[in-house]
Amino acid sequence: MKLIFLGPPGAGKGTQAKRIEQVHNLVQLSTGDMLRAAIASGSEVGKQAKKVMDGGNLVSDEIVVGIVSERLKDKDLANGFILDGFPRTVGQAKALDKILADSGDALDAVIQINVDDEFLVERITGRYTCANCGKGYHDTFERPKEEGVCDRCGSTAFTRRADDNPETVRERLNAYHAETAPLLPYYAEKGILKTIDGMVEIEQVTGQIDEVLNGIK
C-alpha cells in the first residue's frame, strides 16, 4: 500500500504513521526526519534546509523532491510506505505522481488527519521524542508510563525540536494553509482523499485509519 498522511503540523501524522507501519508492514517516510538527518550530517543541503526550517517556512520543492525520489528507489519499500509530511505543495504532489507513474505505480489513499488550528499550538509545544529510538511523547497527552523513561527502549534521554516553539508554529500553520491545504481538492478530484477526525484520542484516530485501510484491501 502506498499512502500519504496529510495534515497540519501537530495533527498526529508521525504518531499515527509509527503505529500503522508496524501493524500493516509499511515504512514511514518522514521528510522532516530526512531533512533533520541532512542537517545533522552537516551537508550543503542540510545547511540550506536549516535556515528555512528555523523560520517555519517550506524547504524548496527541488531539495525535497530530490531527497524523496532517491529514497523511493530503496528495496525495503516493496510492501509499501506511508509518506508523512510529503507532499506539502502542489508542485511536490505532481512530482510524486510522475515518479510513481514512471514505475507503473500509483497512490492507494491520501488520509487527511483533520485538526482545527486551535489544538495545534498546544500539541506542538508539548511534543518531545526519545533521543534513542525516536518514539514520540507529549507533556500532557502521551506521557511515558514511568516518568522520564522511554516505554519502548528504556532510554532516559529525550529531545525537543528547535522549531517547536509558538512563534515558529504560527509560521508553519501559515505555510500549511497557503501551500499544503490546496492538496486537499487536488486529491479529492482523484477520488483517493479520505478524511478522518484527528481531534479524538490517539487510539481512536488509529482506529479510524485502520477502518480506511481495511476498506482498501
Interface residues with Zn ion (CB under 5 A) are 130, 132-133, 135, 150, 152-153, 155
- Of 42 and 104, nearer to ligand ADP (C-beta) is 42
Sign of torsion, CA 122 144 113 10?
Answer: positive
Q: What is the DSSP letter of 201?
A: -
Q: How far apart are CB 158 and ligand ADP at their closest, in Å?
A: 11
Q: Name the residue nearer to Zn ion (CB basis): 66 or 154.
A: 154
CA–CA distance, 67 with 45 (Å, rounded to integer):
10
| Set of cell numbers at residue 34 | 530526512
Q: Is 183 in the site for ligand ADP (CB under 6 A)?
A: no
For ligand ADP, which stretch binds (CB under 6 A), given 37-45, 93-101, 137-145, 150-158? 137-145
Neighbours of 163 (CB within 10 A): 19
Q: What are phi and psi of 170, to 5 degrees?
A: -65, -40
Selected binder of ligand ADP within 2, 6, 26, 86 (CB under 6 A): 86
b/e string for 77-98 if b means 16 or more Cβ within 10 A? eeebbbbbbbbbbeebbebbbe
Any contact of residue 194 with ligand ADP (CB under 6 A)?
no
Binding positions for ligand ADP, rule: CB under 6 A: 7, 9-15, 31-32, 35, 52-53, 56-59, 64, 85-88, 92, 123, 126-127, 136-138, 141-142, 172, 198, 201-202, 205
